């Protein structure tokens, strides 16, 4: 089974993982490892790291400086919201620290997404009267389309009233923050995002530099 996924063993304690690695799992193809005790605990620690959310990881960096970069030069807040503040074109990041692993947060900052998530498809529509609207498609079906425009206004269109719909192949999410920011600035931004843990209240657990 997937040790870092949603299987029963992914939800096991460190002790039960240790036992499974040491003695194998009866009735399955999992044999005893024959490894030294210290090596087994190293494997347990590695498996645990695969499951850990960003907020559970040690992330060096200046959280306060990362917050300034988020709202300032990084311009993240123009599209993303934290604690009720910011834009709505992108996902709310109030709980990204507990919803994503550290590697997932880092990857989102440096690589364009392989697939644009549903509800965030950039597009431009033109009505039969010649009006044009740009933004992201929140919902669409065979008869209608909802577009959150660049002014944060939700526009509802009937497809019969549209002349053209142009879908953008690229996400609105900028990438390559590791190149547009200095290494220290990038690490500070990563530390700040990793501390965002509460979806309901948007509470930001600041802590120290990189510490919970």
Distance CA 15, CA 18 (A): 5
Is the full-model pTM beyond 0.75? no
The reported pLDDT for the residue numbered 97 is 95
The reported pLDDT for the residue numbered 9 is 54
Tell which residue, 159, 99, 84, has the closest CA to residue 127. 159
Distance CA 104, CA 59 (A): 13
Mean pLDDT of 76-103: 94
Stretch among 38-47, 127-136, 200-209 having the lowest mean pLDDT: 200-209
> Residue 158 above 80 pLDDT?
yes
Mean pLDDT of 25-54: 87
State how far the alpha carbon of 11 is from the alpha carbons of 38, 51, 80, 185, 207, in Å.
22, 10, 32, 35, 28
> Residue 205 above 80 pLDDT?
no
């Amino acid at each position: 089974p997937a040790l870092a996924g949603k299987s029963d063993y992914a939800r096991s304690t460190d002790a039960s993982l240790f036992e499974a690695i040491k003695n194998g799992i009866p009735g399955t193809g999992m044999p005893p490892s024959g490894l030294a005790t210290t090596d087994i605990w190293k494997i347990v620690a590695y498996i645990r790291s695969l499951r850990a959310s960003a907020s559970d990881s040690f992330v060096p960096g200046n959280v306060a400086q990362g917050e300034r970069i988020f709202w300032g030069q990084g311009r993240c807040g123009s599209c993303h919201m934290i604690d009720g503040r910011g834009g709505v074109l992108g996902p709310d990041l109030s709980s990204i620290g507990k919803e994503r692993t550290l590697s997932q947060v880092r990857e989102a900052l440096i690589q364009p997404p392989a697939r644009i998530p549903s509800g965030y498809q950039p597009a431009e529509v033109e009505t039969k009267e010649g009006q044009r609207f740009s933004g992201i498609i929140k919902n669409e079906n065979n008869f209608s389309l909802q577009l959150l425009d660049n002014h944060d206004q939700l526009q509802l269109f009937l497809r019969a009233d549209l002349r053209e719909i142009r879908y953008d192949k690229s996400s609105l999410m900028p990438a390559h923050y590791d190149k547009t920011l200095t290494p220290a600035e990038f690490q500070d931004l990563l530390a700040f995002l990793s501390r965002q843990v509460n979806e309901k209240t948007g509470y930001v657990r600041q802590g120290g530099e990189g510490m919970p």
